[in-house]
Amino acid sequence: MQALNFPPQDWQLSLKHLVTEPAQLFDLLQLPSELLPAAERAAKLFPLRVPREFIALMQPGDINDPLLRQVLPLEQEFDESPGFVEDPLSEAAARPVPGVVHKYKDRVLLILSGACAINCRYCFRRHFPYSDNQISGSSRLQALDYIRQDTHLREVILSGGDPLATPDGRLEALIQEVEEIPHIERLRIHTRLPVVIPSRVTDRLSNALGQSHLSTLMVLHINHPQEISMELSLACEHLRDAGVTLLNQAVLLRGINDRVEIQVELSRKLFKTGILPYYLFLFDPVKGASHFDIPEPDAQRIAALMQVELPGYLMPRLAKEIPARSSKTLILPNF
Ligand code: SF4
């Protein structure tokens, strides 16, 4: 078994040492070798990428580990399932200029980076054409101009890929440019990077967010309580001390977090970490990931049972995204 070499303190070094070969992942976690050929085939559909810090949170030898299942390429990714498509949220129709996704009236999303620290097998953007749809060079100016001209906008959301794959200096420059747009009041970052590489929360990042005159929010993507490490808790404390509001959104995933007790524990642990549960999303039907899907009535039942266990402020909103609707669609819990 190879050493996990944890914890490197330089997040960019961690990004350079991601595990990208299925054989290496199998070796590190002592996984059954008969599953390796399928993992290697499926990794050709969507590459394997997983930080060593995240692997350190997995249980060696457990092929059903809920963190491993989020990154393990499987034979099922070749299944052809009706309704599972490459662009499940029809984002191609919501891109007015390169690198901008504009779906809702008062907020707009900037695709800051096509890179992620981790490739989640269920990602609804696993087929997204990042190469010509992220903001860089002249497209950055075009994107900022678009935001400047739409005075309905109040919030800029940095997304990706993972926007925190962008170095701090570039982020600082972008935040300053957004701050200069008079009608923008809020800056939101959607990220999974601090979860999988907690050292990504640098002093420079916290200061840039904390010192901005915009209200700053970070929406973390945590699907299972086992993802909340001590290092992540410290990183969150740092962000909160700087004045950043922390929220979480999770996706309901078959075989990973589709049990009531896991969702209840997740909400409780998030709160202890200073993060409020925000959304629990139904799975977006992306091609290659239908094995994660959970029927809506099952999701409603899970949410109804969560409501019995949790106070209202720890109950994430069960929701799904329907292309072309003017907001997320809330789903009522139901037995
Ligand atoms: S965009 Fe988010 S869900 Fe998709 S692969 Fe990157 S980190 Fe995972």
pLDDT in tens, 156-186: 999 988 999 999 999 999 999 999 999 999 9
* pLDDT tens-place string over residues 193-209: 999 999 999 999 999 99
Q: Per-residue confidence at 136, pLDDT binned at 50, 70, 90? A: confident
pLDDT above 50 (res 1): no
Separation of alpha carbons 313 and 63, rounded Å: 34
pLDDT at 6: 41
pLDDT at 256: 98
0.85 cut: is pTM over it?
yes
Residue with the smallest CA separation from ligand 1 atom 3 is 123
Establish whether the linkage from the previous residue to 7 is cis, with ω within 30° of 0: yes
Evaluate whether 125 touches 101 at the Cβ level (below 8 Å).
no
To test the ligand 1 pocket, which listed residue (221, 224, 253, 256) has its Cβ within 8 A of the most ligand atoms? 221
Tokens at 180, concatenated: 């200069």
| Mean pLDDT in residue range 319-335 | 91
To test the ligand 1 pocket, which listed residue (53, 72, 123) has its Cβ within 8 A of the most ligand atoms? 123
Q: How many CA atoms within 13 Å lie on the side-chain side of 215?
A: 8
Give the sheet arrangement for strand 215-221, strand by strand: 100-104, 107-113, 155-160, 186-191, 215-221, 245-251, 276-281, 317-320, 329-330
| Mean pLDDT in residue range 136-147 | 90
Mean pLDDT check: name the lowest of 24-28, 64-68, 84-88: 84-88
Atom of ligand 1 at shortest range from CA of 192:
7
| Mean pLDDT in residue range 31-58 | 97
Atom of ligand 1 at shortest range from CA of 221:
2
* Span from the CA of 308 to the centroid of ligand 1 (angstroms): 31
To test the ligand 1 pocket, which listed residue (162, 223, 292) has its Cβ within 8 A of the most ligand atoms? 162
Atom of ligand 1 at shortest range from CA of 122:
3
Ligand 1, CB cutoff 6 Å, lining residues: 116, 118-120, 123, 125, 160-162, 192, 221
Tokens at 313, concatenated: 């402020």
Residue with the smallest CA separation from ligand 1 atom 4 is 123
**Pairing status of strand 317-320 against strand 329-330:** antiparallel
pLDDT above 80 (res 53): yes
pLDDT above 60 (res 4): no
Separation of alpha carbons 123 and 134, rounded Å: 17
Atom of ligand 1 at shortest range from CA of 119:
5
Mean pLDDT check: name the lowest of 98-102, 246-250, 295-299: 98-102
Tokens at 165, concatenated: 């794959």
* Span from the CA of 193 to the centroid of ligand 1 (angstroms): 9
* Span from the CA of 116 to the centroid of ligand 1 (angstroms): 6
Separation of alpha carbons 305 and 303, rounded Å: 5
* Span from the CA of 87 to the centroid of ligand 1 (angstroms): 14
Own/partner pairs, 175-183, CB within 8 angstroms, 24+ separation: 175/208, 175/209, 175/212, 175/214, 177/144, 178/144, 178/147, 178/214, 179/212, 179/213, 179/214, 181/144, 181/147, 181/148, 183/151, 183/153, 183/154
Evaluate whether 156 touches 183 at the Cβ level (below 8 Å).
no
99 against 60, higher pLDDT? 60
Separation of alpha carbons 323 and 92, rounded Å: 10
Chain-centroid distance, C-alpha 297: 24
Tokens at 257, concatenated: 């977090």
Residue with the smallest CA separation from ligand 1 atom 1 is 161
pLDDT at 335: 83
Which whole-number Å values give the CA distances from 13 to 9, 51, 239, in the listed order?
A: 8, 10, 22
Residue with the smallest CA separation from ligand 1 atom 8 is 120
* Span from the CA of 326 to the centroid of ligand 1 (angstroms): 23
Q: Nearest 5°: CA angle at 139, between 284 and 150?
A: 75
* pLDDT tens-place string over residues 285-300: 999 999 999 999 999 9
* Span from the CA of 170 to the centroid of ligand 1 (angstroms): 20
